Amino acid sequence: MNLEDLSKVVLTRRNIKLFKPDPVDESLVLSLLDIAKFAPNHRMTQPWEIVFIGPETRRKLNHKADFGGAPLVMAVLSEGAAKDEDRVEQIIATSCFIQNFLLLAHTVGLGVRWTSIGAQPENRTLLHVPEGYDVLGVFGIGYPAEIPQAKERTMISEKVRHMP
């Protein structure tokens, strides 16, 4: 493993807003998700669930920018838990899974647009989200037509403190 290569993947991944119409092979996305599943997760709960969204459901979601014209749209759900703190851990694990996926997608030239619309009650109903589950995102996936500039980040030194 090489730090320079991995850093480049992390640093150049962007939230893609606009896509080319070129189709995306669902089996390619599945193969990336199959690697992403090696994300950390407490007690091996593997709380992520994926919903591929077809044209009818996509229309009903009525996203303002139609996911930037992405040829493929999927939602990522995080399974619920009886205790609040366990539910938070499920969300954390699913977020790790998502980040793995974003980076893997980027390495094969795919872009991903993250939207939060799945959290809206009417969209939860539309997507048949089970009670207690969280929708962490509805993602447009495709080949980028535009790659935005990276936004400035706060110096990490401003986010670090030391305990005695």
| Footprint on this chain of ligand FMN (rule: CB under 6 A) | 14-15, 114-116, 137, 148, 150-151
Q: Is 62 or 116 the residue whose CB approaches ligand FMN more closely?
A: 116
Tell me which amino acid residue 50 is.
I
Q: Is 6 or 25 the residue whose CB approaches ligand FMN more closely?
A: 6
Three-state secondary structure call for residue 19: strand
Least distance in angstroms from the C-beta of 163 to ligand FMN: 28
How do beta strands 72-78 and 134-142 pair?
A: antiparallel
How far apart, in whole angstroms, are the C-alpha atoms of residue 164 and residue 160? 13
How far apart, in whole angstroms, are the C-alpha atoms of residue 19 and residue 144? 4
Q: Which of 66, 38, 86 is nearest to 140 (CA)?
A: 66
Q: Is 29 or 106 the residue whose CB approaches ligand FMN more closely?
A: 106
Rounded to the nearest 5°, which phi and psi values hold at 130? -65, 150
Least distance in angstroms from the C-beta of 164 to ligand FMN: 33
Rounded to the nearest 5°, which phi and psi values hold at 115? -125, 150
Count CA within 13 A, CB hemisphere, residue 7.
3
Distance (Å) of CA 39 to CA 35, 47, 88: 8, 11, 16
Q: Is 65 or 82 the residue whose CB approaches ligand FMN more closely?
A: 65
